[in-house]
Structure 1
Amino acid sequence: MSISLRFIVAGQAIMRIPLKTKTLWNKDDVSLTNDNDNTYFGQIMVGTPGQPFNVLFDTGSFDLWVPSSIWPKPGSKKYRSSASKTYKRDGTKKEIRYGSGSLKGFMSNDAVEIGGLRIKQQAFIEATEAPGRRIYERPWDGIFGLSGLSKSAITGARPIWRTMMDEG
């Protein structure tokens, strides 16, 4: 009887499990602008020092692109690789097709920052032209692709969110 009594007492004992929290990062949020209840865009920084770009957060595409220094849209922000200390040249030419148009450009690598989270090196497209011109009419500078599991079929680059996870 004493064995079963001890079992019952042990079974009714209160277990205390300490709960701990870990802050992954303590940074700013990303402010989004609503574009006619159709799309949302917000600011990222590319390069070192960071060059600001308003990008469309697109759940239907994989890749990040920003306008290159030869982007033909007057008055738009343009990425200047020569101004970045962390730029790495690739130069491979690429073309992306969207439902609303297409764009051409070349691959580059540089630091990218979003909401205070800094990615050391991310492959992206420096856009040089947009045949059809519909992309020139948009209120944002580039596209931040949120889709994809491992790499883009178009550029071969890892999606930026995957790089964020890999870099911690």
Structure 2
Amino acid sequence: MYSSTSLPLSLLALLVLNLSPAAGLAPPEPTVTQPPGYSIPLKRAPQQKRDSSDVGAWLQNHRANVEAKYGMKSAVRKRDGSGVNLLTNQNSDTSYFGSIAVGTPSQSFDVILDTGSSDLWLATSSQAARGITLFDTSSSSTFVATNNSFSVQYASGSATGTLGSDTVSFAGFDVSSQTFGLVDGTSSGLLTSPVSGLMGLAFQSLATSGATPFWQAITNTRGALSNPLFGVQLTRFNNASGATTLEPGGTFDFGTTN
């Protein structure tokens, strides 16, 4: 899909994380929110036609629920955390994406979750792709530009730009000064609306930017997670008649399993 090793298509993938600090750049300092060890189960929708307004309403409703339960307004602590992020199934199992928040005040984006790469990046220019939400660096008071170049190659294309850092929130966890790519150019078809970027879930050794991946910054913080693991539950619509472009995709559970 977006790398030589695509996101697993099994209904449940349990990935054990390495708690040892990775070599290379010093990890950014994470601030962990206090979501409970709770997971929201998803049920497959009845096989019926759904128009774009139905899907949009579903996405907005569930995003609001996640932000209310696991967002930045939660109480803060640095021990025994866990959280969940709802996923969306795009183009009948072609890809799965979740939502992240970046900057101060936060800006929300849908990003592909990729276990075969380690870089986080967001589109900042319409030249990267049209019809998607772009990260506006000037609107964030916590954004810091490094002006270092960024380039990453996938089996399905490439993305180029520069590097910067800002506060990133995902699945109820915050990492301040998280380094990520600010992409102003991609190969044709690499991004499809509403996706604005990609979050790599592999280890730092695969990061072309050299940055500590978001999840690894969390696990490098002693006691940040209730359990050193994350789980991914994925839906399947490949053979579902009447499936639309966007369908409920499952859950990403951090520090706990579904």
Letter in 2 for 1:145: G
Native 8 Å contact 1:96 1:104 kept in 2: yes
For 1:47-126, what aligned pairs fall within 5 Å after superposition? 47-68=103-124, 70-72=125-127, 73-126=129-182
Native 8 Å contact 2:164 2:182 kept in 1: yes
Letter in 2 for 1:142: G
RMSD of aligned Cα (Å): 1.8
Native 8 Å contact 1:152 1:159 kept in 2: no
Letter in 1 for 2:135: Y
Native 8 Å contact 1:151 1:159 kept in 2: no
Question: Out of 77, 83, 86, which is 1:31 matched to?
Answer: 86
Three-state SS of the structure 2 residue aligned to 1:44 is: strand
Three-state SS of the structure 1 residue aligned to 2:190 is: helix
Aligned residues: 142
Matched, 1:155 2:209: yes
Native 8 Å contact 1:46 1:52 kept in 2: yes
Structure 1 residue 78, shift from structure 2 partner: 0.7
Tell me the distance in 2 between the aligned counterparts of 1:126 and 1:82: 13
| TM-score normalised per structure 1 | 0.77
Tell me the distance in 1 between the aligned counterparts of 2:205 and 2:178: 12
Tell me the distance in 2 between the aligned counterparts of 1:119 and 1:94: 20
Greater Rg by CA: 1
Structure 1 residue 130, shift from structure 2 partner: 0.9
Cα deviation digits, residues 2-33 of structure 1 (max 9, x gap): xxxxxxxxxxxxxxxxxxxxxx8325321100
Structure 1 residue 97, shift from structure 2 partner: 0.7
Structure 1 residue 166, shift from structure 2 partner: 3.0
Q: Mind listing any 5+ residue stretches in structure 1 that lack a counterpart?
A: 1-23
Higher RCO, Cα 8 Å, sep 6+: 2
| Percent identity between the two aligned chains | 32
Letter in 2 for 1:25: Q
Three-state SS of the structure 2 residue aligned to 1:25 is: coil
Q: Mind listing any 5+ residue stretches in structure 2 that lack a counterpart?
A: 1-32, 36-68, 71-83, 225-258
Letter in 1 for 2:200: G
| TM-score normalised per structure 2 | 0.52
Three-state SS of the structure 2 residue aligned to 1:161 is: helix
Cα deviation digits, residues 43-81 of structure 1 (max 9, x gap): 10011111111001100000000111x232232111111
Cα deviation digits, residues 131-166 of structure 1 (max 9, x gap): 3x1214464211000001x44441111111111223
- Compared CA separation, residues 152 and 121, structure 1 to 2 (3 A): farther
- Compared CA separation, residues 67 and 104, structure 1 to 2 (3 A): same
**Aligned twin of 2:237:** none
Tell me the distance in 2 between the aligned counterparts of 1:127 and 1:33: 23
Structure 1 residue 40, shift from structure 2 partner: 1.1
**Aligned twin of 1:4:** none
